[in-house]
A and B are shown apart, each in its own frame.
Chain A
Amino acid sequence: MFKENQPLSANETDTIIGPSVKVEGDFITEGNIIVEGTICGTIKTAKNLKIGPQSKIFSNIWSENALVAGEVQGNINCNNKLELMATAKVFGDLKAAVLIIASGAVINGKCQAGDGKAKAAKPEFSKQEKIELKAAENEAAVNLKTKNKKI
């Protein structure tokens, strides 16, 4: 999405908030957004969001993909990919299908990555079966050690 050699250019972006602009309220669009200024309220977009290093966001964010390099005070929810750069400061919870965090990024909140459906079901063991299973494991380990000694 936001690779260094392929940045989100101003031409293909529907909305740009410059450094000198302060936006207050619910900012809801269908297109790409680049934020370099300050926003208080809510940000919702069906496409990509890029938050520049000088920007300050005091709101919850919903987007498809997001690249954060500035300060965010609020929760970030991404349907797809969320990337935090080294200059990013997030004071809120993160939720995304794919989460990339660069070294140096500041996070103060809960992180949730992936869809959560891949979790394996816990098998049910009775106590006796557990003991037998442990004994079998120990026996196998001892056998391995003796074999290794012989060699």
Chain B
Amino acid sequence: MYYYLYDNFLSAKKYQSSINKIESRLTDLGINGKISHLSFLKNIKQILTEEIKHGIKTIIVVGNDRTVNQVINLLPDFNALLGIIPLGPHNQIAKLLNIPEAEAACDVLSARMNTRLNLGLVNNNYYFITSLELLGNNLTINCDNNYLINLDGKNNSLITINNLFSFTNKSSIEDTLRLTIKTPKKLFFLKSYNNISRLQARKINLSSKKSIPILITDEKRIIKTPIEVVISPKKLKIIIGKIKRENK
């Protein structure tokens, strides 16, 4: 059985026609199911727990990366299959998984091609599919407990930790996190990230004297240091689009 979770922002008028088209396509394909709209008053965990108790095995998220991210933190506990119908701005996760936007995504759901993806795990608490970002002022980074990276105090480096950065075939899922450090080079009043460092590690520890604000795919969280980022292998069962062949 399918369970559809609509994001709060989809109640706006401009999305109404797209939603109508999606719903009629789902009915045509025979994969329609129960629909629930997210709101500030509803607790997603409570809703999902109840629905999974009633026998739902596939949860379809209708919305953008932020909506997917809210559900990701709950799904590993339930072992349910996740599908995405991307709608609205910021759909990087769907793009990476080759899922087309709006109505066309219904055909992908119907094909039901699925895989198990690695998830990034922050402090054994927060999961992420694509990346997390933070500023690297006075930060020490320890990779795989093997080497330390020291960043100068006031260089305003931007640190990105990527889990999934390309998805051309199932074997392209790597068991390492990609750490990117971008240091701005000031040209008068312009800031351009010229100095880029890129490393790969299985486990990344970040330590600093203060708590660090972290941006996990559009969602800002303030997390106390030290922060440990690891890969949680094959944690998320997800429906993916047709795999594009890699051009070599």
Give A residues with C-beta under 8 Å from B.
10, 13-29, 31, 36-37, 41
| Complex contacts, B157 vs chain A, CB 8 Å | 20
Given A18-B181, A20-B152, A21-B181, A37-B197 contact (CB < 8 Å): yes
- Per-residue interface assignment for chain B, residues 139 to 172, with 1 indicating a CB less than 8 Å from any chain A CB and 0 otherwise: 0000000111111100101000000000000000
The answer to whether B195 touches A28, judged by C-beta atoms less than 8 angstroms apart, is no
Query: Is B243 part of the binding interface, using a Cβ–Cβ cutoff of 8 Å?
Result: no
Q: Is the CB of B147 within 8 A of A16?
A: no
Interface of A is mostly: strand
Given A18-B181, A18-B183, A18-B195, verify A23-B200 contact (CB < 8 Å).
no
B111 within 8 A of A: no
Indicate if the CB atoms of B146 and A16 lie closer than 8 Å. Answer: no
**Which chain B residue lies CB-closest to A37?**
B197
Least CB distance from A31 to B in Å reads 8
18 other A-B residue contacts (CB within 8 Å) besides A15-B200, A20-B151, A25-B146: A15-B198, A15-B199, A16-B198, A17-B199, A18-B183, A18-B197, A19-B183, A21-B150, A21-B151, A21-B197, A23-B148, A24-B150, A27-B146, A27-B147, A28-B146, A29-B200, A31-B200, A37-B197
> Does B149 lie within 8 Å of A20, measured CB to CB?
no
Q: Which 8 A-B pairs have the closest CB atoms?
A: A25-B147, A18-B197, A18-B195, A20-B183, A24-B148, A16-B198, A22-B150, A21-B197
Q: Give the docked Cα–Cα distance between A8 and B199 (Å).
A: 16
| Distance of A70 Cα from B200 Cα, bound (Å) | 23
**B223 contacts the other chain (CB 8 A):** no
Beta-carbon contact of B195 and A20 below 8 Å: yes
Complex Cα–Cα for A17 and B196 (A): 8
Q: Is the interface of B mostly helix, strand, loop or mixed?
A: strand
Residues of A within 8 A of B152 (CB): 20
Q: Mark B182-217, 1 if CB is under 8 A from A, else 0.
A: 010000000000011111100000000000000000
CB of B148 within 8 A of CB of A25, answer yes
How many chain B residues sit at the interface, stated as a range, is 10 to 19
Measured CA separation A25–B199 after assembly (Å) = 14
Kindly report which residue of chain B lies nearest to residue A16, judged by CB atoms. B198
Cβ contacts under 8 Å, A27 to chain B: 146-147
Task: Give the residue among B150, B183, B199 with the most A Cβ atoms within 10 A.
Answer: B199
Q: Contact check, A23 vs B147: say whether CB atoms are below 8 A apart.
A: yes
Across the interface, B146 reaches (CB within 8 A) one of A10, A17, A26, A37, namely A26
Residues of A within 8 A of B149 (CB): 21-24
CA distance A91 to B83 in the complex (A): 58
Q: Could you tell me the distance between the alpha carbons of A25 and B151 in the complex, rounded to whole angstroms? A: 15
Bound: A13/B239 CA distance, A: 31
B196 touches A18 (CB 8 A): yes
State A20–B182 Cα separation when bound (angstroms). Answer: 9
Contact between A24 and B151 (Cβ–Cβ < 8 Å)?
Answer: no
How far, in angstroms, from A76 to B40 measured CA to CA in the complex? 61
CB distance from A10 to the nearest CB of B (A): 8
Cross-chain contact of B195 among A19, A25, A26, A29 (Cβ < 8 A): A19
Q: Which residues of B contact A26 (CB under 8 A)?
A: 146-147
